[in-house]
Amino acid sequence: MTVTPSNLHLILRGFTRRCAVCGQRGLTDRFLRLCAQCPRCGYVFERKAGHFVGAVGINTIFTFALIAITLVAGILLMWPDVKFIPLASVTVGIATAVPVLFHPIAKTLWVGIDLIIHPLEPGEAFVETEEGAAQHG
């Protein structure tokens, strides 16, 4: 019997840049580039062409949320004398840095979300069984 990680584990593994299937770390060969497959379980991260469009969406939503929080917090903290230049500078910094820094997390997070929506098919990865033996899942 194949052990499938819970939905919470899939999401948490994505946030920590680990393989959603087996929990392996070190999935990037460079900071921004995810390996083609997990070195431990063999799971291929890009299941089909265009797979990571969801990661771009997650990255965009996360970035816009941080921008909105920054703008609202900045306006509330500086009210009634709102200083536009410092607030705009911080916002532009967030809009520039966050998409680049969050990109690897967005990709592994998307892999976890995709596995919740479309569970593993037989033969997609080697996963551990309850007995501890590796099995093609």
Mean pLDDT check: name the lowest of 36-50, 51-65, 82-96, 119-133. 119-133
pLDDT recorded at residue 121: 85
Mean pLDDT check: name the lowest of 21-30, 34-43, 77-86, 128-137. 128-137
Contact 57, 114 (CB under 8 A): no
What is the C-alpha to C-alpha distance for residues 129 and 3, in angstroms, rounded to an integer? 6
Tokens of 25: 């770390």
Q: Please state the domain extents for the chain.
A: 7-136
Q: Is the pLDDT of residue 130 over 90?
A: no
Element (H, E) at 134: strand 134-136
Chain segment 77-124, per-residue pLDDT in tens: 999 999 999 999 999 999 999 999 999 999 999 999 999 999 988 888
Contact 16, 24 (CB under 8 A): no
Query: For 11-68, what is the HEC assignment?
Result: HHHHHCCCCCCCCCCCCECCCCCECCECCCCCCECCCCCCCCHHHHHHHHHHHHHHHH
